[in-house]
Each structure stands twice: as structure tokens, then as C-alpha cells.
Amino acid sequence: MAAGDAGAFVLNIISSVFIISVNKRLMGSPPNFNFRYVVTLNALHYITTSIWTRVAKVIGLAKQEESSKAPAHVPLSSVVLFTTVSNASIISLNTSLMLNSITLYQIAKLGIIPCTCCVEYLLYGRVFTSKMVLAIVVTLMGVGLVSINELNYSDSTLGVFVALCSVVSSSGQQLLVRHLQLKHNVSAGQLLGVVAPAQGASLLLLSPVLDKLSTGGYVTDYEWTQGAMVCMALSCSAAVLVNVSQFLVLGRFTAVTYQVLGHAKTVCVLVVGYVFFGGVITGQQLLGMVMAIAGMMAYSRASQSAPAAKPAAQEKPAGESSLEDLLQKNKANNV
């Protein structure tokens, strides 16, 4: 299980860093490929993911225990709720990446942690120990030191507003992934197989209107080149890995844990930015990276030692009993 947890996190980090780099290349202004149709891009991501989930079942890549279960049932209301929140998250994130610098895009994501903490505290009564709070603060300070000097003050007001919207919607989306898996007793792959087609179809329907509003044109107006097509194929392929790994990670951990440990992606993204787009890593930024990594490690240790760190028991579906509950009831009856 520990190896599986580590593997899911590593896959999520690598695929996330890769897709951010590819999307920045695809959507960036010339000499990049200037593909500005964000909603269409997101629709293609989820359509590709939907196709992959079905192909995986056919060729036997899906877990054997999942194939023996009854088909996953997630109520339509839950699918609509998740699709709405997730679409808002993915559109705002990619729009922020298109309008803003990579640094502002990453700095805005720092706000997801306090936002998620507040929601988990208010809805699930989750308790954060002093060690966990301190580790979160150290992580945020470290990433802030890495990023703050690179902040592009020419970013537009619209870009900043979109970045704020991405914070709220992304927090809600990450919380819903874990909540729906626990509530409806479905695996990460089963939930992804249910919601991905809905997201792909809804984004495809919305893309002509939303892309027209944001770019003034339609995707059919775009002049494709060989490089742009290769970049699009890489982006869609990476999206499959990002979606699968994210559902796996959020099904195993809380949204706050995902965000804290996921800031390894911030450090990796900035390093990739330096390597491919030039720049020098200053002593302050190096210190920030060390602080961020130390904070992530400290949070991991603190969350493991905190008995109230996981709210999973509070999210147990009504009418269902755990094995431990059944054993206790049987013991009481025998006495």
C-alpha cells in the first residue's frame, strides 16, 4: 500500500509538471503555438480520458476486483455537481495559465491550501494540530520565497480574477473527489469512468460559446501546424495520466495532504521553467525550495501521527457499517 501511495504521488507530480510545460508551449504567444481555445482543449482532455477508461477495461488494465463488481452507480445529481465544479476548476486553471505567467499561476495555487482547510474544518470538523499548521506555513513560505521575485506585475486584472476563481473551484473539486468515492463506495477508476464522459460532453457543448467570448473566434479558425498537432497529442496523453493519478491520490488522502505534498510540483515547474526558458536560481529561491520540501516532509509526519487527520469515518455512507462496527455489535450480542 505504501508503494502504491508513493507511486500515485510520483505519477501525479511528473504528469502535472509535464502537462503544464506542454500547455504553456501550446497556448503561449508566438514563438509558441498560440492555441487560445482553452475550453476546447479541456474537452479534448476529458474525451481522451473517457476513451482511455473504456479501452483499459476492454484490454484488462482495470483492476480485476473492479471488473467483478456491479457497475459503479453515482447519482445524476452528484455527477452534475462534480461536473460543474470540476469544469469551473479546469477552465479557470488553464485560463490562468494562458493569461498569467507560470509564476503567478503557481502562487495563486498557494491559496488552495487555506481554502481547503477552512472547508474541511467547517464541513467535516477536521482537526489540524499545531505541528500540521506549522508545516503548512513553512511550505507556503518556502514556495512564496521561490516565486515572489518572479511575479510579473504586468499581469492583467482579469488574469488575477481568474486565478482567484481557480483557487475556490479547485478546492471544491479536490474535496468532491474523495467525498464521492467514500459516499458511493466507488474506486478512483470507477468514478473517473462515470464523470469523465459528462465533463467531456459538457465542455464540448460549451466550447464554441466560451471560446468565442474569450478569443473572438472559433477553433475552426486556428491554423494547425505539425508542431501544434504533436503538442496537442502530448497534452491529451498527459491529461489522462494527470486525471487518473489525481483520482488515485485524492481517494487515498485528504485534499489538504494532496495540496501540501503536491507543492513539490511547484518547485519542479519552476525548475523546468528555469531550464527551458532561462533564468538563474538565486540564494533566496534555493532557500525557499529547501523550506518547501522540509514543510512537505514535516506535514507528512505530522498528519500520520494525528489521530483525527482523516475524516473518512465521518463520510461513511448512511446505513453502512464497517467491519469493526459489525464485530463490536456481534460481541455485545454474545455477551
pLDDT in tens, 270-322: 677 667 655 566 777 778 778 877 887 787 777 767 654 444 444 444 333 33
Distance CA 174, CA 267 (A): 21
pLDDT of residue 244: 86
Query: In this predicted model, what pLDDT tens digit does every residue of 140-179 receive, in sequence order?
Result: 787 777 666 655 555 567 877 888 888 889 888 888 888 8
Q: What is the mean pLDDT of the segment spanning 67-90?
A: 79
Question: 283: burial class by Cβ within 10 Å (0-12, 13-18, 19+)?
Answer: exposed
pLDDT of residue 99: 76
Distance CA 179, CA 295 (A): 26
Query: In this predicted model, what pLDDT tens digit does every residue of 205-232 receive, in sequence order?
Result: 999 998 888 788 899 999 999 999 999 9
**pLDDT > 80? residue 257:** no
Share of the chain above pLDDT 90, in %: 16
pLDDT of residue 273: 65
**pLDDT > 60? residue 186:** yes
pLDDT of residue 112: 78
**pLDDT > 90? residue 29:** no
3-state secondary structure (DSSP) of residue 36: coil
Q: Is the dihedral of CA 201, 183, 259, 5 positive or negative?
A: negative
Contacts of 80 (CB under 8 A, 6+ apart): 198
Residues 126, 306 contacting (CB under 8 angstroms): no
3-state secondary structure (DSSP) of residue 115: helix
Residues 160, 111 contacting (CB under 8 angstroms): no
Distance CA 267, CA 127 (A): 28
pLDDT of residue 230: 95
pLDDT of residue 270: 66
Distance CA 7, CA 270 (A): 22
Domain ranges of the chain: 2-329
Residues 230, 106 contacting (CB under 8 angstroms): no
pLDDT of residue 320: 37
Reference 40, options 224, 249, 227; nearest CA is 224
Q: Which residue type is seen at 182? A: L
Which one is predicted more confidently, 34 or 68? 34
Distance CA 173, CA 175 (A): 5
Residue 318's alpha-carbon distances to 78, 103, 231, 287, 322, in angstroms, are: 16, 44, 46, 48, 11
pLDDT of residue 332: 42
Query: What is the average pLDDT value for the chain, to the nearest integer?
Result: 76
